[in-house]
Chain A
Amino acid sequence: DQQVKQNSPSLSVQEGRISILNCDYTNSMFDYFLWYKKYPAEGPTFLISISSIKDKNEDGRFTVFLNKSAKHLSLHIVPSQPGDSAVYFCAASDVTGNQFYFGTGTSLTVIP
């Protein structure tokens, strides 16, 4: 049962433009959402998180939006840089934090 879905396996964006990565979930009990960036042969690196009491969280070039009614979140990267090229995973947990469910990832390529 795929509780967290990233329907776009890949995305290409020109340097300086906005990258929008999307994530959908099915479990209404999820309260906490995270985005990770992953380079090959490395562990996921935390980027930004959002809890269900918010609909937006911003950290520098990264903004996460949460639409609870649609069970959808998105990560915006503005402006995109070539160093942002990586696989991005969204993950979700309920309030206990006992288990995190990961999406399948979106491979972002930022073209110089």
Chain B
Amino acid sequence: EPEVTQTPSHQVTQMGQEVILRCVPISNHLYFYWYRQILGQKVEFLVSFYNNEISEKSEIFDDQFSVERPDGSNFTLKIRSTKLEDSAMYFCASYNFRVLQGTDTQYFGPGTRLTVL
């Protein structure tokens, strides 16, 4: 069973510090996503990435956020100057989307719990 992995599982940081969340998507997938879930709230889309560039981003994904696929395997989310409200579970997902075939799935990683103090 293919799986998406994420590190670290829990990150604690001080407000204003930079954090990098790491993800290793499934190797033959082409689309990559970051989501977050604030405790007790819904899963929110942050950004999608395809062909080494951002495909779409939500209004949450402001200038303090960036994504990279530095080496063809890792997919990272950087938060430059963390705020208290960035505390959430951050999920990476990868997807090998084939239009309308309905046979593909979006696989999520286990998440990184970010706590900003």
**Residues of B contacting A32 with CB < 8 Å?**
100, 102
A25 at the interface (CB under 8 A from B): no
Give how many B residues have a beta carbon under 8 Å from the other chain's beta carbons.
32
- Interface-lining segment among B14-22, B48-56, B75-83: B48-56
A49 with B55, Cβ < 8 A, contacts A97-B97, A99-B48, A102-B43 known: no
Chain A stretch 46-61: residues in CB contact (< 8 A) with chain B: 46, 49-54, 57
Chain B stretch 76-94: residues in CB contact (< 8 A) with chain A: 89, 91, 93
Bound-state CA distance A57–B113 (Å) is 34
A8 at the interface (CB under 8 A from B): no
B101 at the interface (CB under 8 A from A): yes
A63 at the interface (CB under 8 A from B): no
Give how many A residues have a beta carbon under 8 Å from the other chain's beta carbons.
30
- Is the beta-carbon distance between A100 and B33 smaller than 8 angstroms? yes
B107 at the interface (CB under 8 A from A): yes
A89 with B43, Cβ < 8 A, contacts A42-B111, A99-B56 known: yes
- Is the beta-carbon distance between A51 and B43 smaller than 8 angstroms? no
Bitwise, A36-47 to B at CB < 8 A (1) or not (0) is 100001111110
A28 at the interface (CB under 8 A from B): no
Nearest residue (CB) in A for B4 is A43
| Nearest chain A CB to B58 CB, angstrom units | 7
Bound-state CA distance A36–B91 (Å) is 13
A46-B106, A50-B102 known; 20 new pairs, CB 8 Å cut-off, are A34-B105, A41-B89, A42-B111, A43-B4, A43-B111, A46-B107, A49-B104, A51-B102, A53-B102, A91-B106, A95-B99, A97-B48, A97-B95, A97-B99, A98-B48, A99-B58, A102-B42, A102-B44, A102-B45, A105-B43
In the complex, 10 of the A-B residue pairs with CB atoms within 8 angstroms, ordered by the A residue number, are A32-B102, A34-B106, A41-B89, A44-B43, A52-B100, A57-B102, A98-B48, A100-B106, A103-B42, A104-B41
